[in-house]
Amino acid sequence: MRLEYFEMLDRVEEMDLAAGRIRVIATTPINSPVFEGHFPKFPILPGVLMLEIMNQASGYLLYRRFNRERFVFLGSVKRAKFRRMVKPGAILDVRGQITYDGSGFHIAETSLIVDGEVAADAEIVLIVQDFPTAEAKAELARRTSEITFADPVLA
């Protein structure tokens, strides 16, 4: 995970494109400029970044469902709850389930689990559209190629 570059996902543990389900592992870095200001001498992962991690997991699922040919981004947050603080070095178990497939948008139930306890959960809307540029498409393909897969998961 590289917070400063919004590269949040480390390894896909489970992914079922047809069922619209994904489980990803992400490890928060021990040191990051993000933690220097949130909060000084008491570093915790900002809630907005927890939300982004959940968004990226569900967005990656849709990106793969559309064979890397469609641009997926956060459209809205219908509900979000932050239940526990996440400290540097925490291993995050991130889950997403597509609950609605619409025309150009999808709804996902997401959760972020740390040490077996839900740290955050949200219902989000993801927008799916054509890539804005060929360069953006190529760069997203390059960056997402760095995400690893657990052995039983087919890339």
Nearest to 20 by CA among 77, 58, 72, 73: 58
Residue written as token pair 């064979």: 67
Please confirm, yes or no, whether 106 is among the known catalytic residues: no
Nearest to 61 by CA among 18, 123, 116, 115: 18
DSSP state of 64: H
Burial label, 36 (beta-carbon count in 10 A; 0-12, 13-18, 19+): exposed
Exactly one of 11, 21, 38, 70 is catalytic; name it.
Answer: 38
Residue 55: how many other CB atoms lie within 10 Å: 24
Please give the positions annotated as active site: 38
